[in-house]
Amino acid sequence: MQYLIKLLITGIFIYSSSLFAIEPVQVVTANWKPYNYLENGVLVGSGTAIVKAVFKEAQVPYKINVYPWARTYKMAEKTPNTLIYTLVRVPMREKMFKWVRPIGMSDKVYFYQLANNTDAPQIKHINDLKKYRFGVVRNSINHQYLKQLGFKEGENLQPLRHQSLNLKQLMKGHLTFSVFAEDNLHQELSSLNIPKKKLRPALFLQDIRFYMAFNKNTPDSLVQKLQAAYDRLQQQGKIAIFK
């Protein structure tokens, strides 16, 4: 009788473990062109294509959800077995996540201002910007970096939910400057039919690189499985080598 009970318990444990093993990985992202964004209700973008290809190659089930960036970032920071993309990799975040692989070329971030603003201030040093209000996406790397440099919300930092709102606020004159990566700005301008010549860079902020990454409490075995799948796809020429 005791043998049958032990056998039953073992069977239940194996069954429940198998259920856990096939539970889809939670993948979270936000609207950030050209890497990940909704188009007619469908999630697209260069980063999205890579993430989907890697999960397929790894034969790991997953489910992608799109949220505002602040919520996306918090979920990845707090929830094990959660993958986030597109995430900028910088030293201040290095130990906060388990990094899989890059999903985009490096890009440059600038403070932008309206090109036709004849009264626009001339900025020579980043501290000159502390006199003005400018937009950043809440909890983005630029938001976090500028807070480290002594900028303050409500005083000069204006955190916003997404970049399209940031651009609209700048175009309406509600902000003196807005912070954008070059590729993202070009995509946002195009989607709103705004000519590139309407804006001009005022000051360089930083270089950034784009990655997919897991919550730091995710098992290494899962991280390594996706890394191996990514590497195979890259060796087959299906994923570019990003620098």
pLDDT 10s digits, 212-229: 999 999 999 999 999 999
Query: Quick one: 203 and 231 in the same domain?
Result: no
- pLDDT value at 98 more than 80: yes
Query: Quick one: 188 and 145 in the same domain?
Result: yes
- pLDDT value at 12 more than 50: no
Using CA atoms, how far apart are residues 142 and 134, in angstroms rounded to an integer?
A: 12
| Domain interval for residue 189 | 107-208
Task: Tell me the per-residue pLDDT of 172-183, one tens digit each, with 9 for 90 and over.
Answer: 999 999 999 999
In a domain, 169, yes or no: yes
Nearest Cα residue to 133 out of 147, 150, 154, 119: 154
The kind and range of the H/E element at 42 are strand 42-44
Query: Quick one: 114 and 189 in the same domain?
Result: yes
Query: Quick one: 217 and 203 in the same domain?
Result: no
Q: Cβ of 26: how many Cβ atoms within 10 Å?
A: 18
In a domain, 241, yes or no: no
Which two tokens mark 56? 């397929």
Task: Tell me the per-residue pLDDT of 151-195, one tens digit each, with 9 for 90 and over.
Answer: 999 899 999 999 999 999 999 999 999 999 999 999 999 999 999
Confidence of residue 48 (pLDDT cuts 50, 70, 90): very high
In a domain, 113, yes or no: yes
Query: Quick one: 7 and 79 in the same domain?
Result: yes
Query: Quick one: 74 and 14 in the same domain?
Result: yes
Q: How many domains does the chain have?
A: 2
The kind and range of the H/E element at 204 are strand 199-215
- pLDDT (0 to 100) of residue 2: 53
The kind and range of the H/E element at 106 are strand 97-114
- pLDDT (0 to 100) of residue 186: 95
Q: What percent of the chain has pLDDT over 90?
A: 84
